[in-house]
Structure 1
């Protein structure tokens, strides 16, 4: 199978590669870009572990081919924190509110919550649950995650004031 050239901005850095058309964005990020924070769980788009931001929208990277994102901007969990390594308000709230345990689902939750709060800075608990309904966690029971979204919303609101 022949390869197709792809150029993608990932976390603000240009990445160029030639890939087979069947390579998923998740595999491209992990194997070609060395960004292993994007986790692969079900590889069917159901679990949310592979969620990244594509031009700002939360998407399942296991369902998109790398050739489809040519010329676009991808933000992975590695790109959510500040350049100096300071945790984003979402990451800090997940830590503070005990919204993580094993950590496998965490990258998908971080990117999904980041997009959720950008689009809805003051979500109700029902909106939080609906917004995160595509992300599965087998460890936490979700209450810590919901609390973390509320906390991150408070921090972001205070920072914007």
Structure 2
């Protein structure tokens, strides 16, 4: 995806707006920005309410390896954009594949400097540890979504697709 974003930067704004308008026409009508901002703040607050109920190894792993960059907006911006995890489509998706792939591979080639780099953890975490981390992230940051099932085998399947 980073290649697409970089290539789009060379296009005139008018062309990008035309493509965005065309692609947006396939979606339901957009909500007004104030409503979206309020919904985002509510998602962040809802995710924060679950934090203390999820104490355990996966939360400690997140706190030690991820939280410096992935916090609720109340910490430093270390390696680029800090987008609250509660707003991540990877965590609200029906399938955990994109989240797992990001944990395994990281973000090696960010589309822009503002997005930032993320190291991959595929070489240091087992399938079970990544499954535990994904379970924690879903419960903590997307409590409204049902839990993913059979994550250890999903991690193994996704890991096999990585060159």
Tell me the TM-score normalised to structure 1 length. 0.34
Bigger proportion of residues as helix: 2
Q: Normalised by the size of structure 2, how large is the TM-score?
A: 0.34
Instruction: Give the greater-gyration-radius structure (CA).
Output: 2
